[in-house]
Structure 1
């Protein structure tokens, strides 16, 4: 195995005091970012993941919630951190209706095009989370291509940006899906749990470290600085 540095790719969704299971409180997010700054960490983007510099980490947000702009962005700017937000392009300025089958479903507002532009103007990065958040393992190849390509085309048409980053909805993919992703994107993140280790993971199946609403700062430390995620979930 490579002895290169292990890079935690943090996975967040909503940053708010909502009771939604995917929402991390604003205070906890602040404390986590403050912790990373005090430990000498700096953020990089996915395309910089094979740098040899120590103490690098990546911040990602799935779904593109409005509260990420309102609550997380000021904190990111305070600590001079950058982050990538993955958007569901058909549902900008709407809500997370793809989660409505969940027993604990709570409505969350997504960013509008104007807010996406504000995210970009503040030095942040965007990625695709498909056009309508469908499970890519459960649809045919034509639907897969549509879900994967339409979201990329949207950002090219609306923002003149060639989006290079992708996040699999629900963390679900198959070999057919990965082949399509390789045609449209350069990096893709999963929900497989581990810090990134060069030569162990490829750029289209990058693992992440999920940050959960009940995680204490001690557990956050374990996920970032120790093999906790690498070993505990190595067979996932």
Structure 2
């Protein structure tokens, strides 16, 4: 068993992008005590890696700095942050954000620097969080490379990994992303398998799993059945959007 976990905001608001603060600390403690390895994306995609998870955060919400970083530092475990670079120091009201989506403050560059010092790796989530299916090839390239340059200039490291905004992409986008990054993650709700494309890796969105109690219940038969249903509904929604 191995999986990439998705988080957005770590807070107690109950929004669709939120994971409760206490439950996040409990989750990390349970994973560490279970002897499941919390590893980097580089490590988890290796064929020999098993019984492992990778922790990822999308967008760059300030709550990750305030509520997740202290827990991760105390446990001494790595995580990846897929950053939307044009929103650093602002909020998540990018142009394609649905009006009903909850609003969150984003991290400042100084807070991001503390995250890096604490062992978090900053990855590419584009500059402005667009629906990449609607972009021309030149616009896809610009979104990716603009974010690459910002991250490299700020932290001295070019991103190796990518997350598609909203999980939206097509064959042309995946081909470009696959040629520029070692991995790219989607919103497909599945555990990792040896058949996965490095440009289309699935993740487990923890919002759908936060009511399941213990960490181990994330990977139960019932949870897997539930995720298959949610994934099917998500695919239909993406097809009609």
- Structure 2 counterpart of 1:75: 71
* Aligned-partner Cα distance in 2 for 1:213–1:38: 23
1:202 and 2:197 correspond: yes
1:101 and 2:98 correspond: yes
Gaps of 5+ in 1: 1-5
- Structure 2 counterpart of 1:154: 150
- Quick one: structure 1 residues 87 and 81, their matched pair in 2 at CA, closer, same or farther if it must change by over 3 Å? same
Matches within 5 A, 1:1-236: 6-49=1-44, 50-98=46-94, 100-103=97-100, 105-198=101-194, 200-212=195-207, 215-218=210-213, 220-224=215-219, 226=221, 228-229=223-224, 232=228, 236=235
- Structure 2 counterpart of 1:3: none
Q: Secondary structure at the match of 1:8?
A: strand
Q: Secondary structure at the match of 2:133?
A: coil
Deviating more after overlay: 118-127 vs 15-24: 15-24
Q: Is the 8 A contact 2:189 2:205 kept in 1?
A: yes
- Once superposed, what is the RMSD of the aligned Cα atoms? 2.1
TM-score by length of 2: 0.87
For residues 148-205 of structure 1, give each alpha carbon's deviation from its aligned partner in whole angstroms, at most 9, with x where no partner exists: 111011112222212101000000111110111123211111000111011x101111
Q: Secondary structure at the match of 1:137?
A: helix
For residues 61-115 of structure 1, give each alpha carbon's deviation from its aligned partner in whole angstroms, at most 9, with x where no partner exists: 0001111011001111222221101100011000010375242x33211111111
The structure whose RCO (Cα within 8 Å, separation 6+) is larger is 1
* Aligned-partner Cα distance in 1 for 2:74–2:51: 19
Following TM superposition, by how much is the alpha carbon of 1:60 offset from its aligned partner in structure 2, in angstroms?
Answer: 0.4
Q: Secondary structure at the match of 1:212?
A: helix
Q: Secondary structure at the match of 2:5?
A: strand
Find runs of 4+ consecutive structure 1 residues off by over 6 angstroms: none
Higher helix proportion (structure 1 or 2): 2
TM-score by length of 1: 0.89
